[in-house]
Amino acid sequence: MKDADSVGFPPRSSTFPTLAAKLWILAAAIPIAVVLSFAIGRIAVSPTTAMQILVSRIFEIPKNWPEQAETIVLVIRLPRIGAALLIGLGLSAAGAAFQGLFRNPLVSPDILGVSAGAGFGASLGILISLGPMGVQALAFGCGLLAVLSTYVALRFGRAGETALILILSGIIIGALFSAFISAIKFVADPDNTLPAITYWLMGSLSSVDAVDVYAAAGPILAGFILLMSLRWNLNIMAFGEGEARSLGVNTRLVRSAIIFAATLMTAATVAISGVVGLVGLVVPHIARAYVGPNFSALIPGSALLGALFVVLMDNLARSLFSSELPLGVLTEIVGAPFFLFLLSRAGQVWA
């Protein structure tokens, strides 16, 4: 029986050193971007000072920096950078998995309605004046509920149309939850509640704290580990469910596990940051061009590149103008031209 290495991919022995080097380059770029990120902001903190402050949390070293710098690094910038890394990792890995699973280059992590569901949950939480943790919990739960709702539609589909039914039902569920969001905005207080809902939906890391990072880290990392464990199954599923079944893959179980992992990651990211658009669509394509279509490299490559991308975008969001630009707005401005490029190539073969 064929294995994942023999189904359209070069042998590991001929590609692994090159792929490993590419992944290590991405991994090495992240700490550099992180250190530089500590220095970016309205109040300057040198990378050296930032590193000393971080090291002081582990080892005892002489304190020669102002208290204000320590607060900025540990309370404001460290959680924000950590959240950016998690969000980029989660959205990009989920996007790569969905594009392979559905064999469609225009699929993104919110294709099954998770972003719209999470947006509705957060909007409802803000409307009824829940605290930050309550808003995030409701957003996370409603995001999972939206994707669960798309699975109900599978009962009405015909055999062999699983992917199509999921995508179409995801679009409908997403539209339904978007309508619910509009209804909430219509009845919200225009002076206080409505601006809060609107700003949350734009996507931002301005209010992220350490508790948010801890809350999101579990689901995102668990989903990523699950996707990595399924990377060879993803290689086979990318050729279609019929081919995968002929190779002995339990397609229903694998498909459900991939969707669960990607949904878990996406819901967690949206819950702490709002909607950060197009990251899960654009980054996997760049990673695919860089490391190739083999999911053993594409999943970690997308995760590393996504983490780097969101950190850099967040740096721009808080430094381009005197007032902070919402992160989701900036990622969509950058990602939209690439999306149009994808549309122009949609009729070509994609693998």
Say how many domains are in the chain. 1
Tokens in use for 196? 């809060």
CATH number at residue 224: 1.10.3470.10
CA–CA dist 288, 291 (Å, integer): 5
Give the H or E element holding residue 15.
helix 12-38
pLDDT at residue number 3: 46
Q: For residue range 304-332, what is the model confidence (pLDDT) as tens digits?
A: 999 999 999 999 998 888 788 899 999 99
The whole-model pTM stands at 0.89
Strand intervals (E) in 207-260: none
With a CB cutoff of 8 Å and minimum separation 6, the contacts of 207 are 132
Tokens in use for 72? 């900025």
Contact 297, 243 (CB under 8 A): no
Residues of the chain scoring pLDDT < 70:
1-17, 154-161, 342-343, 345-351
pLDDT at residue number 239: 80
Tokens in use for 237? 């599923």
Domain that holds residue 12: 2-350
pLDDT at residue number 342: 67
DSSP string, 103-153: T-TT--TTTTSHHHHHHHHHHHHHHTT--HHHHHHHHHHHHHHHHHHHHHG
Contact 64, 9 (CB under 8 A): no
Q: For residue range 39-62, what is the model confidence (pLDDT) as tens digits?
A: 888 887 888 888 888 888 888 888
